[in-house]
Amino acid sequence: MASADSLKIHELCKVSPPSASNFSLPLTFSDLLWMRFHPVERLFFYSLPQLDSDSDPSFFFHSLIPKLKHSLSLTLKHFLPLAGNIVWPSNSQKPIFKFTPGDGVSLVIAESDADFYRLSGNSPIEALKSRPLVPHLDSSDSICSVISLQITLFPNRGFCIGISCHHAALDGKSTIMFMKAWAYLCQNGAESPSLLPGLEPFFDRDVIKGPDGLDALLINQWKELANLMDPSNMNQRSLKIFSSVPPVLDQSLRATFELTRSDLEKIKNTVLAMWDDIENGEESFPSKPQTLSTFVVTCAYVLICIVKAMKATQNNNGKFVFGYTVDCRSRLEPPVPDNYFGNCVSTCIVDVQQEEFTMENGLIIVAKKIYSKVKKLDKAVLDGMDSMIPLWISLISKGVHGIGVAGSTRFGVYRTDFGWGRPIKVEITSIDRGLSMALAESRDGSGGIAIGLVQNKNAMNAFATVFCEGLESL
């Protein structure tokens, strides 16, 4: 565990939007799917300006922090649900977002003596080292914060902005929209309180049309899951985030791997060249496409590397499922505006047997399976949402290994510039709560992909070997 004196708290405050009125929003079925899921936690690392006067700690506390606070307040006026809470009124059948004047976002101002360059680098580092930079998100049976923030100084090196988000409040796309809006207002000053059209959130819940009764069904499923986990808790309307999925930090490493544009093209060409030659029993696959998405080939390649590394170090021989979320905004009918704020995602599950990952042509089989699932989404993106929570329960009870995806290469996280330059690293810290890969575009804009992982030391070392050797053999 990190030493107690490695992080010094300078201030704990609440930032509220200026002159805002009461505001409330219902949760949709897409929000309710994540109602008691663990928060999504991100860290944005920034270098301090190179001028001597600007890299001094006094610049951070007397110039940078006031500017970040003021622009955050202005941003929250556009994003009122984030300044409020999730509550469950006695007269409501489901929880709602509620903002009342005086509400605000918890903000911690801290200072760390940890190694900034190691934390913001790609090389393996103890997973627990990131945890002191992540703000706590308050959650109880009756009320939950929507987001919390922490800004941490690394003297004469840089600073980090950490954000914890309640998953029922916003998906990844909405989170990054908020961060970019905050960065835009910070960079452009108080004289420009308006936002660019693409950063102005759209809150109308009427555009989200789901099957009748899905809201009530999802709420009941969460109640059933809560009863299974804690039969003694009789609160059927609890909002408290499940604490049963803590970070897996013991002997775990965090690292980032990259696939260049050239690597991605080689993987695509390899899969397409053998598409028609590889069958998988009686399972039918779509006809060979003209090309494959970066998402498909990245996930397929990383998945086979993860499973091979696990088999080599942990002797895992069971079944695996690959789960990922898909943005539904453009897939719903009618389409939902691109700046819709909240959750507008569905979850997809791809079943893969362990031997399919590790066989000689495993890359092609896994890529074809992922592609097949993606193709089906174009016609029925909401199919299976009503059974997703029971499916999670069933898979866990059977000991099936789940591998997930967080983030997206389409979010453009490295364009989040508050006025002191783009981030040098963006990390999804919460992947340490399970076996997941975090995806983002390469920082240099070259068209590559950055993949974040958290694994135990032996599995991480094995993964690095399999990852590099696999690319050399393509």
Q: Which token pair is 212?
A: 């009748």
User: Using CA atoms, how far apart are residues 254 and 70, in angstroms rounded to an integer?
Assistant: 33
Confirm whether 250 is a catalytic residue: no
Confirm whether 417 is a catalytic residue: yes
**In this structure, what are the phi and psi dihedrals at residue 212, rounded to the nearest 5 degrees?**
-60, 135
Q: What is the 3-state secondary structure (H, E, C) of 351-397?
A: EEEHHHHHCCCHHHHHHHHHHHHHHHHCCCCCCCHHHHHHHHHHHHH
Four-residue CA torsion sign, 455, 241, 390, 451: negative
Neighbours of 244 (CB within 10 A): 9
User: How distant, in Å, are the alpha carbons of 35, 163, 194, 442 from that of 136?
Assistant: 17, 9, 30, 28
Q: Which token pair is 10?
A: 């300078």
Per annotation, catalytic residue among 54, 56, 351, 417? 417
Which one-letter amino acid corresponds to residue 180? K
| Burial class, 96, CB count within 10 angstroms (exposed 0-12 / middle 13-18 / buried 19+) | middle
Of 427, 440, 417, 424, which Cα lies nearest the Cα of 43?
Answer: 427
Per annotation, catalytic residue among 38, 166, 167, 401? 167
Under DSSP, the state recorded for 63 is I
Active site residue ranges: 167, 417
